[in-house]
Chain A
Amino acid sequence: MNALEIRGLKKTFSGFQLGPLDLTLPGGCILGLIGENGAGKSTTIKLILNMLRRESGTVTILGRDNGQDLRSIKEEVGVVLDEVGLPDCLTSAQTGRVMEGIFRQWDAAAYASYLRELGVPEGKAFKEMSRGNRMKLGIAVALSHHPRLLLLDEATSGLDPVVRDRVVEMLADFTRDEDHAVLLSSHIVSDLERICDYIAFLHKGKLLLCQEKDRLLEEYGFVHGAAGELAAIDSAAVLHRSEGRYGAEAIVLRRAVPAGMAISPVTVEELFVHMVKGER
C-alpha cells in the first residue's frame, strides 16, 4: 500500500500557485521533497494535513482520504514542522505529559529513550533551548506515538552534523519496516541524497520531477568539453547547459551522449540546481 498519494493537488495564493501536484510515496520508502525557499514544500505538507483548504485534487494518507476522520489518521502520522510550535514554557517532561493526553498510542518509554538518544536537555524550558534542541524535541515527539508515516519539514536544518547523522540513521531504521514511510522536505540536499529512495523537485510551486533516486542518478550525467562537442548531443536530452571561457558543461541523459564522450556522475544537488536554472 502507498503511504501517501497526491493527485492533482492545487492551491493558489496571491502571487503563488502550487500544483497541480502528483506524488506517490510507497510504503517502506523515503521521499525527499527538494525545493528552494518559497517553492511550496511547507504548503504541500500543510495541504496533506488539511491545514489549508485545497482548491482541487485528492490526498490519500495510509489508504484513507485526508478529508475523513483526520484525527484518527493523525494518530498514525508524525509531523515536524520547520518551526516546532511547542509552548515556550514547557520542558521536555511536560511536553511528554501533554502528548500522553493527545495521542492514544503515546509511548512514554520510547519518548524518554529518544530524548536520551538525541541529547535533549532535561528541565530546560522550550524557549531556552537552541534551534537544534527544539528540532530534536520535535523529532522525539513525532516518533514516540508509533507513527506509520513521518512528515518532516526542514527537520534536519539547525542540527549539528553529528546529530543530523543520527537523525538520518533513525529515519533509515524507521523505514526498514515496509509499513513505514517518510516524506522529508529540505533544501539541504546532501541529507536527502543519502537516505531518500525517491526524489521530487519543487520549483515555484511546480513539480519538476518525481523519480526514484538511483534511476535518476543512473539516467543523468555531466559532460564537459568544447561548446562544439556538446552541440552534438540531442538538445532534447540536455537538461541544462552552460558555457564559459574555458569550455562548456551540461547535464544530459546518458543514453543520448555520443559514444566516446566522457560522462561523469551527477549529484542530486547538481541536478536540482541545473533544472531550476533551466526553468528560469
Chain B
Amino acid sequence: MRGLLRKEWYLIRRHCRTYLAVAALFLVTSAAVKSGGGNLFMTFYPCILAGIVPTTLLAYDEQSRWNVYSDTLACTRAQVVSAKYLTGLLLELGMILLCVAASLFRMSRGTAVSGRELLLQTGLMVLVSLLIPVISLPLMLRFGVEKGRIFFFAAVTVTCVGSLALSRTLLGDSTDQIPPHASAIAVGAVLAGLVLYGLSWLLSIRLYQNREL
C-alpha cells in the first residue's frame, strides 16, 4: 500500500502541477477579493480541481498500462482502489484547509465574510468537491477511463450545477441570507460527503474486483 501511495505521489508531482498551479491562483485571488458570497466559485474551485486528480491519476494508469501491471504485483485490487481514494481524500483535506485559510485571511481583512458563512462554505466545499470522485471513480474503475469519461463529465456538470444551486438556495445573494441552521447544514454536508465517499470507495473495490484486466 505504501508503494502504491508513493507511486500516486510521483504521478501527482509530475502530471498534476498545472492543477495545483491553477488551484493556487484561485486561492490567492479568493483571499484577495473583498466580497462575500460573490466569490464563492473562487473558493470552491480549487477543491473541485483536487476532486479531479484521482480520475486523472486513473487515466495515466490506463495509458501506461499500470492497471494491468499492478495486478501482477504483491498488492490486492482493493489496495489499488484504496490508494486512489486515500490520495483523493488527502488532497481534498489539504485543499479545504487551504481554502479555509484563504477565507480566514479575507475575514481578517474585514470583509463581509462571517464565521457562519465560512462554516457553511466549508461544509458545502467538502460535499461538493467529494462528489466528483464519488461519482466518477466507480464508473471509471468498472468501465475504464474512456467510457467512464462520459460519466465523469456528467459528474462535473452535476457538481457545478449542484454547487451553484446549493449556494443560491442556502446563501442567496448576500451573507445576510445565511440560513438560520447554517452550522447544522455544514455538519450535515460534511457527514454526507464522507459517507458518500466511503460508499463509493466500497463500491469501487467491489466493481474493480470483478473487472477483467
* Partner-B contacts on A (CB < 8 A): 46, 49, 51-53, 70-72, 74-75, 77, 79, 81, 83-90, 94, 97-104, 126, 145, 151
Contacts and interface: CB of A to CB of B under 8 A. Distances in A.
Contacts of A83: 65, 68
Contacts of B5: 101
6 contacts: A49-B71, A52-B213, A85-B66, A85-B69, A99-B3, A101-B4
Contacts, number: 87
Given A53-B212, A90-B10, A98-B7, A103 B73 contact: yes
A97 B13 CA distance: 15
Main secondary structure of the interface of B (DSSP, over half): helix
A96 to B, nearest CB: 10
B15 interface: yes
A67 to B, nearest CB: 12
| In the complex, the 4 A-B pairs of residues with the closest C-beta atoms, listed nearest first | A101-B3, A85-B69, A85-B65, A101-B2
A101 B73 CA distance: 11
B66 A87 contact: yes
A83 B68 CA distance: 10
Main secondary structure of the interface of A (DSSP, over half): loop
Interface in B182-213: 212-213
Contact of A51 (B4, B75, B213): B213
A81 B72 contact: yes
B16 to A, nearest CB: 11
Interface in B57-92: 60-61, 63-76
Contacts of A151: 72
A138 to B, nearest CB: 8
B73 A89 contact: no
B213 A71 contact: no
Nearest to A153: B72
Contacts of B72: 49, 51, 74, 77, 79, 81, 151
A86 B3 contact: no
A145 B10 CA distance: 22
B213 A87 contact: no
Interface in B26-77: 60-61, 63-76
B69 A89 contact: no
A120 to B, nearest CB: 17
